[in-house]
């Protein structure tokens, strides 16, 4: 496992541009979006105008052509403004990457320009009411019908559902287990596609979460992504990058909470002295900063491993997702405590960060499943 390299000048410039966007276009509105359950599609398209709609998509297809090491910088920095919107953009970019990586030339030409500009929004449909952590047990079916497939089933907890235009749907075309799963591109307007109610959630309220209901959705065979039976492999490869994106979003949200805590403690006095001068509180801040720095190093190490095709990349991505999302939530929770009663008030934005970061420990594979992946990598040679 290689050491994490220092940031290049290009990466520093990328982070600066993204930070400016996060602080000007996201942070001032994040609390209101959360309270109003408003999905700011116009702002997402402004982010795409900076190249953030197709971060990993090759330049010849309209993307920015960045690697994973660049991407974790992008999503960490965006999340300092709003983890919910940064999280959706991470998922959207996972969808765009999957089409760029596994689509044929016609599919790339058809969908990537819109995804890169965010005129087309993307969602990822793997989880079902009865198949979450055990994704290979999914029951949605895609039955061949001449030169079409007919899809039937229900997908659960789909970020962006109802607002997104394009859905990568994993469905069963063969027998049980991962080998019987294929990937398809479904469009919002396809007959038979409908959506459940917008879920009432603890956090991530600035983006919709709904069921995607597929009731005999008939699509042409050229909507299949990759070969029959390749769907589970495609889905898992997409999730490696998706896990890094969510890990990075946890870092950004937690960093914002830490920065706000420093400012709050500098402004507040108790017993005749600034709270920031209390050594006990300084030590808490030091712990928070140290843990975030360690998590950031692991996320960047995993991103570099994924970029170079390291055999340990899957394990490292799981480690990074588990450690960064646990750490991010813990740091944000301690930041709320350092704010005292003010941290519990919505107007300060700290409680929103805590609520947003909590779900990061569940989505893109629960942290318990991340431990399964890591343990499997450690013990595989001993079986």
Q: State the Cα torsion 46-236-243-31 to the nearest 10°.
A: 50
Closest CA to 207 of 93, 86, 376: 86
Closest CA to 70 of 8, 132, 116, 119: 8
Residues serving a catalytic function are 364
State the alpha helices, DSSP H only, in 175-269: 231-267
Residue written as token pair 């607002």: 163
Q: 305-309, long-range: CB within 8 Å, 24+ apart, which pairs?
A: 305/1, 305/2, 306/68, 306/240, 306/241, 306/244, 307/67, 307/68, 307/69
CA–CA separation, 44 and 84 (whole Å): 12
The alpha carbon of 330 is separated from its chain's Cα centroid by a whole number of angstroms, namely 19
Which letter does DSSP use for residue 173 in this model?
Answer: S
CA–CA separation, 179 and 350 (whole Å): 44
CA–CA separation, 298 and 240 (whole Å): 14
HSE-CB at 284 with a 13 A cutoff on CA atoms is 20
C-alpha pair distances (Å), 222 with each of 225, 226, 241, 378: 8, 10, 25, 40
> 153-192 in b/e burial notation, b at 16+ Cβ within 10 A?
bbbbbbbbbbbbbbbbbbbbbeeeebebbbbbbbebeeee
> 90-115 in b/e burial notation, b at 16+ Cβ within 10 A?
bbbbbbbbbbbbbbeeebbebbbbbb
Pairing between β-strand 269-270 and β-strand 193-195 as defined by DSSP bridges: unpaired
């Amino acid at each position: 496992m290689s050491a994490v390299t220092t940031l290049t000048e290009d990466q520093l410039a990328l982070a600066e541009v993204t930070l400016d966007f996060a602080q000007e276009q996201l942070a001032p509105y994040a609390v209101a979006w959360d309270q109003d359950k408003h999905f700011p599609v116009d702002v997402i398209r402004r982010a795409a105008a900076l190249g953030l709609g197709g971060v990993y998509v090759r330049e010849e297809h309209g993307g920015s052509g960045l690697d994973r090491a660049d991407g974790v910088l992008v999503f960490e920095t965006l999340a300092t403004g709003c983890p919910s919107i940064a999280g959706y953009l991470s998922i959207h970019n996972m969808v765009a990457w999957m089409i760029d990586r596994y689509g044929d030339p016609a599919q790339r030409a058809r969908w990537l320009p819109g995804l890169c500009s965010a005129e087309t929004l993307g969602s990822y449909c793997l989880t079902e009411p009865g198949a979450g952590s055990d994704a290979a047990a999914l029951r949605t079916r895609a039955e061949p019908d001449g030169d079409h497939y007919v899809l039937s089933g229900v997908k659960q907890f789909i970020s962006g559902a109802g607002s997104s235009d394009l859905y990568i749907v994993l469905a069963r075309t063969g027998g049980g287990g991962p080998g019987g799963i294929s990937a398809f591109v479904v469009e919002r307007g396809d007959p038979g596609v409908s959506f459940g109610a917008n879920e009432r959630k603890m956090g991530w309220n600035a983006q919709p979460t709904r069921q995607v209901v597929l009731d005999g959705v008939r699509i042409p065979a050229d909507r299949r992504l990759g070969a029959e039976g390749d769907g589970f492999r495609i889905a898992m490869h997409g999730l490696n990058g998706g896990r890094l994106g969510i890990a990075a979003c946890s870092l950004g949200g937690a960093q914002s909470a830490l920065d706000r805590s420093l400012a709050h403690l500098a402004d507040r006095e108790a017993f005749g002295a600034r709270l920031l001068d209390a050594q006990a509180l300084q030590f808490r801040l030091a712990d928070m900063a140290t843990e975030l720095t360690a998590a950031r190093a692991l996320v960047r190490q995993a991103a570099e491993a994924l970029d170079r095709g390291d055999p340990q990349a899957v394990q490292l991505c799981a480690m990074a997702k588990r450690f960064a999302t646990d750490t991010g939530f813990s740091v944000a929770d301690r930041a709320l405590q350092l704010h005292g009663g003010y941290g519990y008030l919505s107007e300060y934005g700290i409680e929103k960060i805590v609520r947003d970061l909590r779900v990061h420990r569940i989505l893109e594979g629960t942290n318990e499943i991340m431990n399964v992946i890591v343990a499997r990598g450690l013990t595989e040679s001993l079986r």
